[in-house]
Structure 1
Amino acid sequence: MSIFSGSDKSASGQSYIDPEALGLIDVNREFKTHLGIEDTLFNRFSTKDVQELLEQSGMFEMLQFRGFQKTKLEIHGISEVDNRIYIKTEENETLVHMRLKFSDFLFKKINESFPMIYIDWLLSQNVKLGKLGEKKKLFEGQEYPGLNIMNEITSFIRLLSGKIGAAGAFNIPEYFHDAVLFHKNFRYLSPEKEGEFRALLRCFKKENLRSLSGAIHSGKILDRQTSAVYSWSYGEMVSATNPFLEKSLFDEQYDSMVARISETREFSRID
């Protein structure tokens, strides 16, 4: 079973990840399940350890600011390298759900493997606001409005990466708005995809994000280069904490290609 099998994305009906189309390859291939790991993260970090990292990231302070004064942390171990983290209210309502996987990945571009944290699933929801009846008020895939805690989540992931000895983290955003949230600290591994993404942001810089994302995923954007309806495609977004990996992946050639594509690709709304 590869690291992309058993994904929460697949479980929710989004079985769209083709490992052969990605720029990373799971080297280990197999997850070995062991007893006694249920209350630890990656069979290494206790709930207290994770609590401290979350505190360092500012997570609990921000949740308190959002009105959640008392929360509880749960860790569910699936295997040595595959774990779920929940932050819940006292009433057992989920505020934050992260499914993280840890494995060695081969980067095709440089033909070297590095230990990486894969963010398989990420959910944050403000249950105090309740489920909004009008779907237009929510992003695709949401049941509740978000908590606006992406900075704290990213900080936690990077702190965890340093503690576990990973070279960084990556995610495969399912929706355009997910990619926007990650983009502050993550970049697409593919310069073509990164350039295309930045071109979309440039062409619609005055657009509301919810409206733009909805248009992209409902076939309402025209790719003026091909005169065809723009089709959103997935790709890995990487945040490297290892300096060598950062320089190797995002070199001058990468930057040059991203700049050229982002400045020349054009998109427009389909009326």
Structure 2
Amino acid sequence: MLSLDYLGKRLRFISHRLTHFDLQKPDPEDQEISLVDIERFLSESDRKNPLFLNFYTRTGLCEALEQYGAFDRLRKRGFDPYLSFHPLDSERYILHLTDKENGPVLVELVCRLTILKAKKSQAEVNTGDLFDLLAIEWILLQNPQAKFTDERPPLPGQKHPGLGVGREIITLLQIMTERLEKDGMLAIPAHYHNAVLYNHSFRFFSPEKEAELKALERDLSDLTLAQASWAVEQGLVIDKETKNKFEWHPEEMIWPRTEKLEKYFSSDYYYNLLEKTLEKKQFYVDINQARLLLENSQH
């Protein structure tokens, strides 16, 4: 398996060879457009098909995924990848990568361009500062041909095993963020395991929430990711201080691209508050309740 660092470098090397023209090639339905109409074409006024995130054509995205080798890797696994997308509303786009046209979904992505407004001054960030972000509202990566096993059990929310390309997809979304010259990327993980997987390159904007995640990883380290995520999901994780069941509340995670955001996450303010909160946060699994749930599931 390629290291994340090598994967990022290789994909970024390829991205530098892709031009705006490559990524905005007219779709077949728009091929009759003339050069004098290109400005109107890019503004979507005369287009039959929309632009993904106001930038990419379907043909352009397919060209990029071919160049990155993503389509070829899926073909080697027996899939015939077909890409499509459309607007969900005035802000959000949904993208599907299926096995053949109208076939089973391999990748589903819902995203939008958004602005994050700082609610208060913190370190490098001032009240009212605006950050232009690519927001990932939903991402599904699944292999409908695979089966769950004891070694690879389902995670909360999964209907099929994962596709095994999560880090590659995140890297491609980071490259997309760079191409669109955004300040960073935003994700709101619906489940504990989503946050763990995002945490390779994302951080919670709130240092207290980041500390909560670190504390959970520390205190649930004897469990597999699936076991830990199900323990959180089923209310088996207890806050040692309050004795209450821990509940996962999704918040914003950020991958910073610009210097200002990077400085915020590396600031003394962020680090000190994270460490202070981490010292206080402790969790444990309610073993008796876990046994009871297991017994009930066997009847």
TM-score class, shorter-chain normalisation, is 0.7 to 0.9
Higher relative contact order (CA 8 A, sep 6+): 1
Separation (CA, whole Å) in 2 of partners of 1:64 and 1:183: 29
Separation (CA, whole Å) in 1 of partners of 2:119 and 2:71: 38
Deviations 1:154-203 (A, max 9, x none): 11111111111211111111110111111101111111010011011011
Separation (CA, whole Å) in 2 of partners of 1:34 and 1:249: 40
Q: Which residue of 1 aligns with 2:146?
A: 129
Whether the 8 Å CA contact 1:174–1:234 is kept in 2: the answer is yes
Whether the 8 Å CA contact 2:85–2:93 is kept in 1: the answer is yes
Among 158, 165, 178, which residue is 1:162 paired with? 178
Whether the 8 Å CA contact 2:264–2:270 is kept in 1: the answer is no
Separation (CA, whole Å) in 2 of partners of 1:37 and 1:225: 59
Distance 1:56 1:116, change over 3 A: farther
Residue 38 of structure 1: how far off its partner (Å): 4.1
Q: Does residue 222 in structure 1 map to residue 238 in structure 2?
A: yes
Whether the 8 Å CA contact 1:118–1:171 is kept in 2: the answer is yes
Deviations 1:70-126 (A, max 9, x none): 311112123564211111112611100101101222122432112111101100110
Among 44, 60, 75, which residue is 2:85 paired with? 75
Deviations 1:233-268 (A, max 9, x none): 111111011122221354221012212322442111
RMSD: 2.5
Distance 1:267 1:126, change over 3 A: same
SS in 1 for 2:251: coil
Task: Report the AA paired with residue 132 of structure 2.
Answer: P
Larger radius of gyration, structure 1 or 2?
2
Separation (CA, whole Å) in 1 of partners of 2:48 and 2:129: 30
Whether the 8 Å CA contact 1:37–1:77 is kept in 2: the answer is no
- Select between 181-190 and 110-119 the one with higher mean Cα deviation: 110-119
Task: Report the AA paired with residue 170 of structure 2.
Answer: T
Q: Which runs of structure 2 are paired with 1:183-194 in the superposition (5 Å)? A: 183-194=199-210
Residue 60 of structure 1: how far off its partner (Å): 3.0
Among 242, 247, 271, which residue is 2:258 paired with? 242
Task: Report the AA paired with residue 100 of structure 1.
Answer: C
Separation (CA, whole Å) in 2 of partners of 1:70 and 1:241: 33
Identity of aligned residues (%): 26
Give the TM-score normalised by structure 1: 0.78
Separation (CA, whole Å) in 1 of partners of 2:134 and 2:172: 12
Task: Report the AA paired with residue 113 of structure 2.
Answer: F
Separation (CA, whole Å) in 2 of partners of 1:138 and 1:255: 34
Q: Does residue 113 in structure 1 map to residue 123 in structure 2?
A: no
Q: Does residue 206 in structure 1 map to residue 222 in structure 2?
A: yes
Distance 1:117 1:68, change over 3 A: farther
Q: Which runs of structure 2 are paired with 1:82-121 in the superposition (5 Å)? A: 82-90=92-100, 92-109=103-120, 110=125, 111-121=128-138
Structure 2 segments unaligned to the other structure (5+ residues): 1-43, 288-299
Separation (CA, whole Å) in 2 of partners of 1:257 and 1:61: 45
Distance 1:270 1:88, change over 3 A: same
Separation (CA, whole Å) in 2 of partners of 1:107 and 1:270: 38
Separation (CA, whole Å) in 2 of partners of 1:37 and 1:249: 43
Whether the 8 Å CA contact 1:37–1:80 is kept in 2: the answer is no
SS in 2 for 1:129: coil
Q: Which residue of 1 aligns with 2:276?
A: 260
Separation (CA, whole Å) in 1 of partners of 2:69 and 2:221: 30
Whether the 8 Å CA contact 1:84–1:97 is kept in 2: the answer is yes
Structure 1 segments unaligned to the other structure (5+ residues): 1-32
More helix by share: 2
Residue 221 of structure 1: how far off its partner (Å): 0.9
Give the TM-score normalised by structure 2: 0.72
The count of residues paired between Structure 1 and Structure 2 equals 236
